[in-house]
Amino acid sequence: MLTVKSARAPRWNNAEHTSLNLQVTFAETAETLGEMPFTASPEDNEAHGRDLFARAVALEFGPVQEPSSEVVAQATLRTLYRLQAQASATIATQQVALATLQDALRLELATAAEAATLPLKQAQLDAWCAYRVYLSRLDSQPGFPASVEWPAPPVEPTAV
């Protein structure tokens, strides 16, 4: 475990307050590295990281500042891009399944049970397409990217 010689300027690393950044000088590296940025969290692999987080949250190094607007914007965009990719992948999978079912119906190869699923499959696809549209419009929300009202993803039907 490294010994903290000094720490200052704690700032949350994310809006969820699960990790924070601060400037730290460790006794063991003070001569070679001096003060350096350090990210601490309660789940840190190293004991000194968990200790720094607890001490910072206890305000030992001063008030913990909120994350910068740039950090919030980057986190929002990462989440948005991840959700858009998931929606697009789900839509692509559903389009293939729907097209295959439509082919079976057109060729009179579909069973009655398969034919009965067509409205549900179409409704699921439409719901995911609408969700993707809502995601694409997030940047028009007032306050974006600092404040976002995320659309709810479609609920997957439960098997009966």
pLDDT given at position 71:
87
For residue 160, pLDDT beyond 80: no
Spatial CB neighbours of 142, under 8 Å, sequence gap ≥ 6: none
* Cβ burial 54-85 (10 Å sphere, 16+ → b, else e): ebbbeeebeebeebeeebbeebbeeebeebee
Percent of the residues in the chain that have a pLDDT greater than 70, as a whole number: 98
pLDDT tens-digit series, residues 6-24: 999 999 988 889 999 999 9
Domain residue limits, the chain? 4-57, 69-140
Mean pLDDT of 12-38: 93
pLDDT tens-digit series, residues 89-144: 999 999 999 999 999 999 999 999 999 999 999 999 999 999 999 999 999 999 89
Residue among 34, 38, 41 at smallest CA distance from 5: 34
Residues 4, 53 contacting (CB under 8 angstroms): no
For residue 158, pLDDT beyond 70: no
Report d(CA 54, CA 57) in Å as an integer.
5
Joined together, the tokens standing for residue 2 give 């490294």
Q: Order of strands, edge to edge, in the sheet holding 36-40?
A: 4-12, 20-26, 36-40
pLDDT tens-digit series, residues 79-90: 999 999 999 999
Give the pLDDT band (50/70/90) at residue 150: very high
Residues 110, 62 contacting (CB under 8 angstroms): no
Residue among 57, 19, 54 at smallest CA distance from 37: 19
